[in-house]
Amino acid sequence: MERSVDRASQEMLDRAKQAERQTVWDRFEQQDPQCKFGSEGLCCRVCHMGPCRIIDKKSPAGVCGADADTIAARNLARMIAAGAAAHSDHGRDVAHALLLAAGGGGDYKVQDPLKLRQVARDYGIAVDGADDAQVAKAVAERALADFGQQEGELALTERAPARRVALWRKLGITPRGIDREVVEIMHRTTMGVDTDYRNIIRQGLRCSLADGWGGSMIATDLQDVLFGTPSPLRAQVNLGVLDQEMVNIIVHGHEPTLSEVVVAAAHDPELQKLARDKGAKGINVAGICCTANEILMRHGVPIAGNFLQQELAMMTGAVDVMMVDVQCVMPALSDLARHYHTKLVTTSPKAKIPGVEHVEFSEERAMEVGKEIVRRAVENFDQREGAPFIPKEKMDLVGGFTAESVFNFLGGTYRSTYRPLNDAIMDGRLRGAAGVVGCNHPAITHDWAHIEMAKELIKNDVLVVTTGCSAIADAKAGLLRPEVAFELAGKGLQEICETVGIPPVLHLGSCVDNSRILMVLSNMVAEGGLGEDISDLPVAGAAPEWMSEKAVAIGFYFVASGVYTVLGSGFPIAGSQNLTKLLTEELEEEVGGRFAFEGDPVKAAQLMIEHIEAKRKALKLREPMYA
């Protein structure tokens, strides 16, 4: 129970202990004590004169003279660059798939022509008289060009409120090209270049914006174009979605270009028949991590679990294939798979694991690869060793909200507008809104911080939007059911949920879909009545259990967009007081957003509520109706 609040995970952890299997939690304990220099940001190994570490009086600077501020800022900036690279490379692959679809090649087709035209318009591409293929080609080429663009500004940054766009220009942090900003961080943080921690962080902000309003936004938008824009739907979550009598395929990772075709291939009549011939009742696809969120949002495919459940899912002995692509895939799965019949299959040329079967995916051969993976799972069904152990726990959820659908929803079918949301905030029925996102971390009781934070926020009439592993944690706890509003939400939020039929916690998708939250914020400003900029809005963000470099990039683009953002554990920068002060205090002056670090999720929620209240006061809004 110290390790997880999730019953299914607790049961599997018991099994792991009995079977003497190691998990991420055990390996985390083995690392104790973790290196203090690393965790405080005071270790530098960017050149071969090092590694250098800063010890107050004994060695206050590295061999080259770099001090604690420089070293901590360089390390952090490199985390932003890595996170932005990961999201953006994902976006690049989706743009490539759209280009294929436009040319009639590959197995993808444009599923949302309306969104395609919307994106085209935002890129300034003329759409009148052009057919879908022509528009898709122009959009894909334009999006691909964003990665290599050297000068000018990323077009999608113009989706932000005018005042924000002007501020970015004034500060010189409007991203020029996606790859360029990543490369520039790598250059600036190499030996003997940028040593001014403020200047390094400024480039960090710029690079993060290239992720949020660039690479991630491209990924989200073009996935909607190719695979369909999600709309609210019902589904189920947790390890109990695995089915003993079915062939179970787990898709794990991030990019829906492959998981989409695996979902389609699982319906292939020939493979279905093969499954029945093998004695299975059918083929069951379930997801882990963000690719799970992608196929949940669009198809209602069940989610087996979040980041810390990847090993536990395999330990059920019910997974016939675990297919992985990129990001958040623990290499430990490879050793673990040796103890079970599960076939672990890597698919991305960018992400192989020694000793693991590799079925290489390419967008050009998507369905062929999808079918091959499903076939391997079906053929592995009768290789199970004994009866699987599948925890019973599963929970219903409503997911599939987007910047477009969620508040069209609030506006009612015939009034697609953010007006009712803004009005609800202005008249005090809703206090504000919060985005709670991010990973799990073995140092924090699994799912606990996500759930407790969300509960505290909704209790106080703060509407919560969520993505990534946070959304999965909330879903398992039942917070994504509309009826939970009556048990846990404040009276104002209850009224909204009842009128519109939505849950008090809205699932907006995967990690790249944090760009949907940026669009929600922009749309709220555009609707009017809540200020002129994102930093005026009574909103806040949080990542209570973050662990990935991607979360660092996300945190930075929220702050750079004007959002107060609370992290469950601090960045590895505690060794630099100046940098800590910059990020948690001074940045607000510059960009209107700042970070706070608070490990207690209820206290963190209180900080967010205090911030929301301060913004309400500044806007001279009424006292919350049900304070």
Q: Contact positions toward ligand SF4, by CB under 6 A? A: 44-47, 49-52, 62-64, 66, 71, 191
Closest to ligand SF4 by CB, 19 vs 49, is: 49
289 binds ligand MSK, rule: CB under 6 A:
yes
Within 325-418, residue ranges assigned H as helices are: 332-337, 366-380, 405-411
Residue 191 binding partner per list ligand SF4, ligand MSK, none, with a CB distance cut-off of 5 to 8 Å that depends on partner kind: ligand SF4
The owner of tokens 């190691």 is 22
H, E, C per residue of 375-396:
HHHHHHHHHCCCCCCCCCCCEE
Q: What residue 328 binds from ligand MSK, ligand SF4, none (CB within 5 to 8 A, per partner kind)?
A: ligand MSK
CB of 168 to ligand MSK, least distance (A): 25
> E-assigned strands of 245-355?
247-252, 283-288, 303-305, 321-324, 343-346
Q: Which of 80, 511, 519, 605 binds ligand MSK (CB under 6 A)?
A: 511
Which residue, 63 or 619, has its beta carbon nearer to ligand SF4?
A: 63
Distances (CA, A) of 161 to 170, 343, 451, 550: 14, 48, 31, 24
Nearest to 463 by CA among 441, 495, 487, 439: 495
Distance in Å, CB of 279 to ligand MSK, minimum: 34
At its nearest, how many Å lie between ligand SF4 and the CB of residue 65? 7
Q: What is the DSSP string of 415-434?
A: --SSHHHHHHHHTTSS-EEE
Nearer to ligand SF4, 74 or 615 (CB): 74
Q: Taking CB under 6 A as the rule, which mask of x and - marks residues 309-338 in contact with ligand MSK?
A: -------------------x----------
Question: Cβ 430 to ligand SF4, closest distance in Å?
Answer: 49
Alpha carbon distance 472, 480 (integer Å): 9
Q: What is the DSSP string of 158-185?
A: GGS-HHHHHHHHHHT-S-S-HHHHHHHH
Complex with ligand MSK: residue 548 or 569, whichever CB lies closer: 548
Q: Does 175 bind ligand MSK (CB under 6 A)?
A: no
The listed partner (ligand MSK, ligand SF4, none) that binds 24, CB under 5 to 8 Å by sort, is none
- Name, in order, each residue with C-beta under 8 angstroms of 569's C-beta and a sequence gap of 6 or more: 441, 443, 444, 546, 597, 599
Residue that has been written with the tokens 């005071």 in this structure: 42
411 binds, among ligand SF4, ligand MSK, none (CB under 5 to 8 A by kind): none
Q: Does position 449 bind ligand MSK by CB under 6 A?
A: no
Is the separation of the CB atoms in 358 and 347 below 8 Å?
yes
Comparison of 320 and 513: residue with beta carbon closer to ligand MSK: 513
| Residue 479 C-beta: closest distance to ligand SF4, Å | 45
| Residue 307 interacts with ligand MSK (CB under 6 A): yes or no | yes
Q: How far is the CB of 86 from ligand MSK (least distance, A)?
A: 8
Cα separation, 155 vs 221, whole angstroms: 13
Q: Report which residue type is found at 370.
A: G
Order of all β-strands in the sheet with 565-567: 505-507, 462-466, 432-436, 539-543, 565-567, 595-597
* Span of 155-163, 386-394, 442-450, 544-552 interacting with ligand MSK by CB under 6 A: 544-552
Q: CA-to-CA distance for 405 and 409, rounded, in angstroms?
A: 6
> CA 52 to CA 226: how far, in whole Å?
48
Query: Which one of ligand MSK, ligand SF4, none interacts with residue 341, CB within 5 to 8 A by kind?
Result: none
Given ligand MSK, ligand SF4, none, residue 66, with its beta carbon under 5 to 8 Å by kind, binds ligand SF4
- Closer to ligand SF4 at the Cβ: 71 or 463? 71
Is 439 a binding residue for ligand MSK by CB under 6 A? The answer is yes
DSSP 139: H
With contacts defined by CB under 6 A, name the span among 100-108, 396-404, 446-454, 543-551 that binds ligand MSK.
543-551
Give the Cα-Cα-Cα angle 533, 504, 540 (nearest 5 degrees).
30
Burial status of residue 105 (CB atoms within 10 A of its CB: 0-12, 13-18, 19 or more):
exposed
Binding mask 343-382 toward ligand MSK (x if CB under 6 A, else -) reads: ----------------------------------------
Say which entry of ligand MSK, ligand SF4, none residue 550 contacts (CB below 5 to 8 A, set by partner kind).
ligand MSK
Binding mask 548-567 for ligand MSK (x = CB under 6 A): x-xx----------------
**Which region among 17-25, 128-136, 269-277, 547-555 touches ligand MSK (by CB under 6 A)?**
547-555
What's the rounded Cα separation, in Å, for the pair 552 and 543?
10
Q: Which does 289 bind (CB under 5 to 8 A by kind): ligand MSK, ligand SF4, none?
A: ligand MSK
135 binds ligand MSK (CB under 6 A): no
Closest contact distance (angstroms) between CB of 166 and ligand MSK is 32
Kindly state whether residue 399 participates in binding ligand MSK, applying the rule CB under 6 A. no
Q: N- to C-terminal Cα distance for the chain? A: 34
Q: Least distance (Å) from ligand MSK to the CB of residue 468?
A: 3
What is the DSSP-derived secondary structure letter of residue 321? Answer: E
Q: Considering the complex, what minimum distance in angstroms separates the CB of residue 188 from ligand MSK? A: 25
Q: Nearer to ligand SF4 by C-beta: 47 or 144?
A: 47
48: number of Cβ within 10 Å: 8
Preceding peptide of 51 cis, ω within 30°: yes
Nearer to ligand MSK, 246 or 328 (CB): 328
Q: Which is nearer to ligand MSK, 52 or 328 (CB)?
A: 328
246 Cβ neighbours under 8 A, 6+ residues apart: 275, 280, 281, 282, 283, 284
3-class state of residue 595 by DSSP: strand
569 binds ligand MSK (CB under 6 A): no
Q: Which does residue 290 touch among ligand MSK, ligand SF4, none (CB within 5 to 8 A, set by kind)?
A: ligand MSK
Handedness of CA 173, 174, 176, 179 (dihedral sign): positive
Smallest distance, ligand MSK to C-beta of residue 141, A: 28
Q: Is 48 helix (H, G, I), strand (E, B) or coil?
A: coil
- Which residues would be at the binding site for ligand MSK (CB under 6 A)? 289-290, 307, 328, 438-439, 468-469, 510-511, 548, 550-551
